[in-house]
Amino acid sequence: MNPTMGLQLLLVAAGAVAVAAVARRKGWPAPLLLVAAGLLVSPLVPAVPLDPQLVLFVFLPPLLYSAALDSSYLRLRDVKRAVALLSVGLVLFTTAVVGLVVHLLLPDLPLAAAFALGAIIAPPDAVAAVAVGRRLGLPRRALTILIGESLFNDATALTLYRVAIGAAVGGTVDLLEGVGEFLYSAAAGVAIGLALAFLFAWIFRHTRDSLVENTLMLLIPFAAYLAAESVHASGVIAVVIVGLYLGNQMHKRGFGTRLVSDAVWKVTDFFLEAIVFALIGLQLVTVIKGIGGYGAWEVALYAVVVFLVTVLSRFVWMFPVTYLTWLFTGRRRDEPAPAPAPTVIISWAGMRGVVSLAAAFAIPVGMPDRDILLFLTFTTVIGTLLVQGTTFPALIRRLRVTSEQEQYEDRLAEAAAQQAALAAGTEVLDRLIEAEGEPDEIQKQVIDQLREKSWRRSLTAWERLGGGTAQGGAETPSTLYRRLRREMLQAERETFVRLRDERRLDDEVLREVMAELDFEEAILER
């Protein structure tokens, strides 16, 4: 990478973080604001190239790994059929439909190249949809389906893309060979992912060092992706499998590992997502300059048709498949018929992302009609992000799809679990006291503090069911305790800092006591 490109990426990163910070402050969807800002800035700045290798080998693995690490293996297992139908079935369907329509629009375009375009724009990126859905309280099942789809659909699409590009360059299409490559890619990706998952789980059992474990965590997605891609397997599947397995085993790590891991991956996600969505918008001038030999209205018509076909094909797939699946499987288990509203929500959550754009930029430069394929990919990505992304919140509110009942049930389950945990902890405390004999006065005070702390945590869980207020709108004891303790903590911090400034306390000591206060405040926030 030359210094000029490095400086460009640095400026893009700084600008993207600034825009994302504004979006967070205002409560706006950051991906949409970043894309819009990139589109506005693109004509005013030098072209910022989107390197496909940078996206696929640097940005994609950690983003996939973080999403898998944060996902629930158990919830994904519950919706595995829906995820498979979307991440495999819908990708195949969209590839075929878009490919045939594009071939009809552009008869001179080889069918293999048209299918390559279909594979490129087939996989949605659920980052924007999930961010909005979580903020607006979308039901957990719908969110899990969207997350599961986004974890696995890239593997299907990239495999189809490689087969189609190979056929377009080589001139022949061997369906059997393509199916074989797809099956090998998926199976080998799963095998490599499981092997690395077991390996790193064994390593973590013998480290017990939060700093070392989280440093290894940063290397895992790149190791899994490169290991799979080196044998022409699916790096996407390998990364997802490792992330799901280690995420499901995270409770076996130490508390320090979990605290640091949560912070590390939040920062990583924020930083990488800001850059990739800004890069999408910044490709405007580069893509438009490449179009030649077509009239403005002609390419605009092509772009609108491809965008509409991409959006509508998701609806055409979702509704029949959802209800047919229920008829053949769910009905026999007395499951209620699927409600139309969640199906509409999932159908509209088809925003495309940077993986599609990176795949388009990776089309061989000498391939005929590369520029029009890149243009149609760009317009579809931008169209889905700006049209579907901006209307997605309004659609959720309009259809009144919420998770209020789920949230109440979660709080109720948490309170019951806290009560059971309190009983278990108290039982252990009583057993230890009995084994150690009659405590003295100081020991009794310590024991009383332990009982009170457990009781307060259990009480907080029950109070959360009422939103932190008692009858008459007064603060509950736990809410009052947290508010007053936060004020005390702030006063304590100011005292420590003042003593440091007066050279009566060393900076290293200050950092240690500040960490203790920060952990306590984090518990209060919980």
178 touches 225 (CB < 8 A) = no
Check whether residue 392 and residue 509 sit in a common domain: no
Tens digit of each residue's pLDDT (9 = 90 or more) over 402-450: 877 777 677 777 667 767 777 787 788 788 887 877 777 777 787 777 7
Give the per-residue pLDDT at 133: 84
Number of Cβ atoms within 10 Å of the Cβ of 409: 11
Cα separation of 129 and 387, whole Å? 12
Reference 303, options 382, 385, 391; nearest CA is 382
* Residues whose CB falls within 8 Å of the CB of residue 517, separated by 6 or more in sequence, listed in order: 489, 492, 493
Give 457 or 341, the one with higher predicted confidence. 341
Distance CA 466, CA 89 (A): 44
Residues 369 and 306: their CA atoms lie apart, in Å, by 16
Q: Which residue range is the domain that position 37 belongs to?
A: 3-402
Q: Which of 95-109, 239-253, 484-498 has the lowest mean pLDDT?
A: 484-498
Mean pLDDT of 457-461: 66
Domain boundary among 342, 369, 402: 402
Whether the CB-CB separation of 139 and 338 falls below 8 Å is answered with no
Same domain, 437 and 321: no
Pair 383, 511 in one domain: no
Of the pLDDT bands very low, low, confident and very high (cuts 50, 70, 90), residue 461 is low
> 234: which 2 tokens?
């699916």
Apex CA 291: angle with CA 294 and CA 382, to 5°? 110
Q: Which two tokens stand for residue 78?
A: 């519950």
What is the per-residue pLDDT for 228? 97
Identify the domain boundary among 378, 402, 426.
Answer: 402
Query: Does residue 48 sit in the same domain as residue 61?
Result: yes
Q: How many domains does the chain have?
A: 2
Burial class (CB in 10 A: 0-12, 13-18, 19+), 292: exposed
Which of 402, 429, 455 is at the close of a domain? 402
The single residue listed with the structure tokens 């474990």 is 213
Do 454 and 335 fall into the same domain?
no
pLDDT score of 170: 72
CA distance 226 to 229: 5
Query: Quick one: 380 and 520 in the same domain?
Result: no
Same-domain check for residues 226 and 89:
yes
Give yes or no: residues 118 and 178 share one domain: yes
Cβ neighbors of 67 (< 8 A, separation 6 or more) are 147, 150, 151, 243
CA distances from 220 to 148, 242, 475 (A): 20, 8, 46
pLDDT band at 341 (very low <50, low <70, confident <90, very high): very high
pLDDT number for residue 331: 66
Residues in the chain, overall count: 526
Residue 468 reports pLDDT greater than 60: no
In single-letter form, the type of residue at position 147 comes to I
pLDDT at 463: 63
Concatenating the DSSP letter of every residue in 232-297 gives: TS-HHHHHHHHHHHHHHTGGGS-HHHHHHHHHHHHHHHHHHHHHHHHHHHHTHHHHHHT--SS-HH
Instruction: Count Cβ atoms within 10 A of the Cβ of residue 514 and give its class: 0-12 exposed, 13-18 middle, 19 or more buried.
Output: middle
State the alpha helices, DSSP H only, in 42-139.
Answer: 52-54, 60-69, 73-78, 80-84, 91-105, 111-121, 127-135
pLDDT band at 173 (very low <50, low <70, confident <90, very high): low
Question: Are residue 454 and residue 382 in the same domain, yes or no?
Answer: no
Instruction: Select the more confidently predicted residue: 404 or 21.
Output: 21
Whether residue 58 is found in the same domain as residue 105: yes
Residues 386, 429 share a domain: no
The CA distances from residue 286 to 11, 43, 46, 302, in Å, are 18, 9, 10, 18
pTM of the model: 0.86
Looking up tokens 């890239």 gives 154
Contact indicator for 181, 160 with CB cutoff of 8 Å:
no
The residues that bridge with 469 in the sheet, in sequence order, are: 475
Q: What is the CATH number of the domain that holds 16?
A: 1.20.1530.20
Strand partners, 318: none
401 band by pLDDT with thresholds 50, 70 and 90: confident
Determine the pLDDT at residue 465.
Answer: 64
434 contacts 448 by C-beta, under 8 angstroms: no
At 374-391, the pLDDT tens digits run: 999 999 999 999 999 999
57 shares a domain with 39? yes
Average pLDDT, the chain: 87
pLDDT at 1 (0 to 100): 56
CA distance 314 to 94: 7
